[in-house]
Amino acid sequence: MKIMDRRVILDELKKVLLPYTHNKEALNNINEQTDLIKDLKINSANLVDIIIDAENQYNIEIDMDAAEKINNVGSCIDVIIEKMASTN
Amino acid sequence: MGRRVVVTGLGVVAPNGVGVPAFLDSLKNGRSGIKFIPEYQELNFNCQVAGIPEFSMADLKGYLSEVTMHGLRDSTIGYAIKAAADAWIDAGNTLNGEEIFWETGCVFGNSIADTDSMKRVIGMVDAKLSRKLGSRMVEQLMNSGATAYISGLLGLGNRIITNSAACATGAQAVLMGYEYIKNGQAKRMVAGSNEFVDRYVFGAFDSMRILSRKFNHSPEQASRPLSASAGGFVPGSGAGALVLEDLEFALARNAVIYAEILGGESNSGGQRNGGSMTAQNPAGVNACITKALSNANVKGSDIDLIAGHLTATGADKMEIENWAGALNRYGDDFPLINSVKSMIGHCLSAAGSIEIVALVLQIMHKFVHANINLEDPNQEILKIASAGSIPTMCINKDINIAAKANFGFGDVNTCLIFSKYENNG
């Protein structure tokens, strides 16, 4: 499989996060350290929806154990890369 | 003298008008909102017409954030948000502030949460895909979804109640809101109700053979309360909302006052002595109206207008009999009476609140709307109430005191007495 560049995934994540983020400008300026709840003020209940959307985007399955590791953009990218590697 | 309760805001999503200006124009001009629904023909329904508001979820832009809009699909919650937010703004308030209004609560009712949402959940769960449903389904399956959205949007901090009493729901919500203010538990209440009659609820009513079926090709004529050719009701959807307010609280913030609620009553006929799941015990209706009058401290002879329940079934004649008996007014002495359902059909739980918005508009703008489609009045009804009491044209009229009632499955009744607002201390 093609290992995706973390930078490409980060840009694609901006689109996944868009419907759940009030502050569109903060979303434009995210980096791997950006915290989804503290920095982007995303409602914690919506993390479930973001995971479902990311699953559909990358055709992967993110189980609950993996989902618990997600708190910032970097950990989100880690989980996506790990699941893409194990799925394909 | 105890606390007085007044109406200071109105919002409506009705089959013949979304928003108060459009609804008012339709009421004055006797405009029907009943349409032929091709899907109902495909489903082999006897009744193939319905009252559906011209509303889309996109109409909520400006009320809800994009984040909240994303994932909200539920029409019945959408109607409720639109009506309640419009009423709140109409009362001179703004949206999206950070303030919590501890003195303001909400009573908003409905019959059933949106079955399209339920269907989506059932399909996904049965396909073993529940993990794909996401975080936004539960709030749209709850009967309290509408009140949850409304109270969150407006920042309401007093009691938040979702009521359900079949076709009496809307009137009962307004009565409960009135009582909370009257009793001093709240200074303001957002009160109303919402309903989306989807194909499943519609089909269940259709199977009872109580819906209009002979006017599928002339839908605007299908809802015919009080007429000899009334052959069942036409289901409708929508929402109505009112801001109710303690008079002193309203005056202190210089609110415009539309009307006053003098009193009301809600009861049941006990499903005895002619009452059943689907019919009202006349003694229960009589007691409800009589108690509402005494709570409001008015006499039957004071009533200028009855805003009837009048669905266009055989129950219309019984309703006229019950009004005549409770008010002790017959023939030429029977008050004016009209039914919004002739234009919009029967909006079930939303009926009461939409019809109360219509009544307050008639008090404010000094008119009595027409009973449309009344070409062949039921002769049995004319033996109780004179033809002159059942207007078929819109008439100009200064309404001092009006009675509103709705009756529902389970033999439940609610009656409210409204008056124009007069600053008489």
pLDDT band at A3 (very low <50, low <70, confident <90, very high): low
The verdict on a CB contact (< 8 Å) between B71 and A22 is no
What residues of A are in contact with residue B135 (Cβ under 8 Å)? Answer: 45-46, 48-49
The verdict on a CB contact (< 8 Å) between B66 and A45 is no
The verdict on a CB contact (< 8 Å) between A49 and B131 is no
pLDDT band at A2 (very low <50, low <70, confident <90, very high): low
The 3-state DSSP class for residue B243 equals strand
Q: Where are the alpha helices (DSSP H) in B273-406?
A: 282-296, 315-327, 341-344, 351-365, 379-382
Query: B65 to chain A nearest CA, in Å?
Result: 8
Q: Tell me, yes or no, if B128 comes closer than 8 A to chain A by beta carbon.
A: no
What pLDDT is recorded for position A72? 94
The Cα A9–Cα B282 span in angstroms is: 70
pLDDT digits (tens, 9 = 90+) for B293-339: 999 999 999 999 999 999 999 999 999 999 999 999 999 999 999 99
For residue B193, the surrounding DSSP H or E stretch is: strand B188-195
- Decide: B151 and B106 in contact? Cβ < 8 Å: yes
Q: How many helices (H) and strands (E) does chain A have?
A: 5, 0
pLDDT digits (tens, 9 = 90+) for B214-269: 999 999 999 999 999 999 999 999 999 999 999 999 999 999 999 999 999 999 99
Give mean pLDDT, residues B115-119: 89
Which residue out of A18, A49, A51, A56 would a mutagenesis test of the B interface target, given it has the greatest number of B Cβ atoms within 10 Å? A49
The 3-state DSSP class for residue B89 equals helix
Please give the backbone phi and psi of residue A29, each rounded to the nearest 5 degrees, phi first. Answer: -105, 20
User: What mean pLDDT value characterizes chain B?
Assistant: 97
Give Cα B389 to chain centroid, integer Å.
23
Q: Tell me, yes or no, if B98 comes closer than 8 A to chain A by beta carbon.
A: no
The Cα A19–Cα B128 span in angstroms is: 26
The pTM of this model reads: 0.96
Q: Tell me, yes or no, if A58 comes closer than 8 A to chain B by beta carbon.
A: no
What residues of A are in contact with residue B68 (Cβ under 8 Å)? Answer: none
Least confident of A74-88, B161-175, B352-366: A74-88
The residues, any chain, with a CB within 8 Å of residue B288's CB and separated by 6 or more, are B265, B266, B267, B405, B413, B414, B415
The Cα B338–Cα B356 span in angstroms is: 12
- Decide: B171 and B406 in contact? Cβ < 8 Å: yes
Q: Which residue has the higher pLDDT, B232 or A2?
A: B232
Nearest Cβ partner of A52 from B66, B67, B132? B132
The verdict on a CB contact (< 8 Å) between B66 and A19 is yes
What pLDDT is recorded for position B101? 98
The 3-state DSSP class for residue B92 equals coil
- Decide: B18 and B91 in contact? Cβ < 8 Å: no
Domains of chain A, residue spans: 6-87
Q: Tell me, yes or no, if A49 comes closer than 8 A to chain B by beta carbon.
A: yes
Least confident of A42-46, B49-53, B155-159: A42-46
pLDDT band at A1 (very low <50, low <70, confident <90, very high): very low
Nearest Cβ partner of A49 from B65, B66, B135? B135
The Cα B353–Cα B337 span in angstroms is: 17
Which residue out of B135, B137, B139 would a mutagenesis test of the A interface target, given it has the greatest number of A Cβ atoms within 10 Å? B135
Nearest Cβ partner of A48 from B66, B70, B134? B134
Nearest Cβ partner of B134 from A21, A22, A52? A52
Query: A4 to chain B nearest CA, in Å?
Result: 25
Query: A68 to chain B nearest CA, in Å?
Result: 15
The residues, any chain, with a CB within 8 Å of residue B133's CB and separated by 6 or more, are B120, B121, B124, B125
The Cα B383–Cα B332 span in angstroms is: 10
What residues of B are in contact with residue A21 (Cβ under 8 Å)? Answer: 67
The Cα B312–Cα B315 span in angstroms is: 8
The Cα B336–Cα B404 span in angstroms is: 12
Query: B122 to chain A nearest CA, in Å?
Result: 18
The Cα B384–Cα B320 span in angstroms is: 7
Domain A6-87: assigned CATH number: 1.10.1200.10
What pLDDT is recorded for position A10? 96
**Residue given tokens 């993390």 in the structure block:** A47
Residue A56 pLDDT greater than 50, yes or no: yes
The verdict on a CB contact (< 8 Å) between B135 and A22 is no
Structural domains of chain B sorted by starting position, each given as residue range(s) with its CATH number in brackets: 5-259 (3.40.47.10), 264-419 (3.40.47.10)
The verdict on a CB contact (< 8 Å) between B134 and A49 is yes
What pLDDT is recorded for position A88? 58
pLDDT band at B424 (very low <50, low <70, confident <90, very high): low
